[in-house]
Chain A
């Protein structure tokens, strides 16, 4: 059996943000000399990943670890500082706006913040019609209306909402509208940044079912960012666990949940809130939460890891296979974990 081809390939991606303000702010007077210092947020530090056609790759990880930044660089909303993004075999991170246009239809993004992703001055109808018309210039008005109606229904958006403006809706209602907008142009690849975190459980179920149906029917591929691990367990084919801008574990969903390897993954799984009272107490991480401004040396997790040794504080662990899982941890590499 041949492996399904990768639709998206991320090669050694780095992204730094400068946080030192403009040129004058960067100057300082030290030891009798004027020096220029620039501080950076190291949001992503060398991530390589591929998403296979038809799969739902879930990205999980601590808040601030760079998940949205990965999503935004994949979608070309940010330029990588280093590294490359390939889509369907073509490099896309260096393309001009014009050259990107054909990809804009195939790749859609659902944003994390439903409050900021809809234009406040457009009615819901306008927000949904616009992209469909733009990407299907030959369609008749009737065809556009039909398509918009179809997706509205699919995500539980009442067509009578069409004449209203985004601020008149609750957070969850807005998020459903954004999801409808992404699905309306029939993309083949969707980057979804926390698409259902703002939704209540019954709508979550509805939207997840919808996304799974779309995947089965149209062979849709997802890069799915979420921190809800029960959703990952249910929906994901593979899971990438990130910590401070690096990948610490990459595994098939079932394997990750039944046999997590990386100490951070273990802590993450143990912290899932449960309905019952008889669960084991979560693994508590101690130590200072590290910062992407001054990256720790060695393993980015060493300051909070109960198993860190001398080597962990100095040498960056590489992603290595352990069974079918890929994991970056010296402890596992040395066989002491």
Chain B
């Protein structure tokens, strides 16, 4: 049994202007100890997916369809109380906004101790020792002093490292990390990513890493999901996706990296912007921006189809595969 299995997940937001669908038909599996990257356009639904897995979508958002099986148990149907014991204890989430985890009126130490004691029967002193040790693991300088400081007294990057340390407190089986190193400089980012990989390997912990840093994805994860406008549009081994992207959006993403343009020259941006969730075009959501559109692209939503070692949702790719099959 896979550790996590997401089947046909659909998440909506009920807004004044009517309801919008933020995630459509998302399915994937994650094995124990596996490291999965999720990349994609800003607003594509990556964070919403992270929240949905741990059933933290709150009004006006709701899970409309589908299931999230964690060791076979459907988290989407769990009562709040049961969910709370799984969250934190078995699944840790590191949020994109560190202040979602940190309470501004409590010191770092108090928050960590409280979190530990909510899930385990240990003394305050022991909890403090563990907290200190986790802060050291994420390279917080003078951790003793930091324990007695408030979140606003720390730099952006330190807050994020504290959030990571809190995520690691309870030795979870699955870590969902939403842009965990976005605010960090590369030397610390490298150290923390190495630490996370090491922790995952040593304790067989699975990791879902949401990030837009393709460099980090390629160094940390084994498999990658690319999202666009609420859907999975490409999925497969990270190496294949980075070196040989098939979907025109994924190709555009890699081509937009600063390394792909000469210094001082304009970067290769993908023309246009991602459509709003409530005015998606018919057919492929990427079609208004795509250089390769076929008539079929305006008519039907391309299904995720096997192509090479990956699954790709693109009419062009399907058509090319059909052609080469005929030729053989």
Contacts and interface: CB of A to CB of B under 8 A. Distances in A.
A197 B155 contact: no
Contacts of A205: 256-258, 267-270
Interface stretch (A183-191, A269-277, A311-319, A329-337): A269-277
Given A63-B188, A158-B276, A234-B267, A197 B182 contact: yes
Interface string A143-178: 000000000000010101101100011111100100
B290 to A, nearest CB: 13
A328 interface: no
A190 to B, nearest CB: 18
Given A212-B266, A230-B257, A230-B259, A170 B47 contact: yes
Contacts of A274: 215, 218-219
A200 B212 CA distance: 5
B267 to A, nearest CB: 4
A49 B184 CA distance: 23
B43 interface: yes
Contacts of A209: 266-267, 269
A227 B142 contact: no
B40 interface: yes
| Best-buried of B258, B270, B279 by chain A (most CB within 10 Å) | B258
A62 B187 contact: yes
> What interface size band does chain B fall in?
35 or more
A227 B157 CA distance: 11
Contacts of B268: 205
A233 interface: yes
A62 B155 CA distance: 11
Interface of B: 13, 15, 17, 39-44, 46-47, 96-97, 99, 139-142, 145, 149, 153-158, 161, 179, 182-190, 212-216, 218-219, 242-243, 252-254, 256-259, 261, 263-264, 266-270, 273, 276, 279
Interface of A: 17, 19, 39, 41, 60-64, 68, 112-113, 115-116, 156, 158, 160-161, 163-164, 168-173, 176, 194, 197-206, 208-209, 212, 227-231, 233-235, 253-254, 267-268, 271-275, 282, 285, 288-294
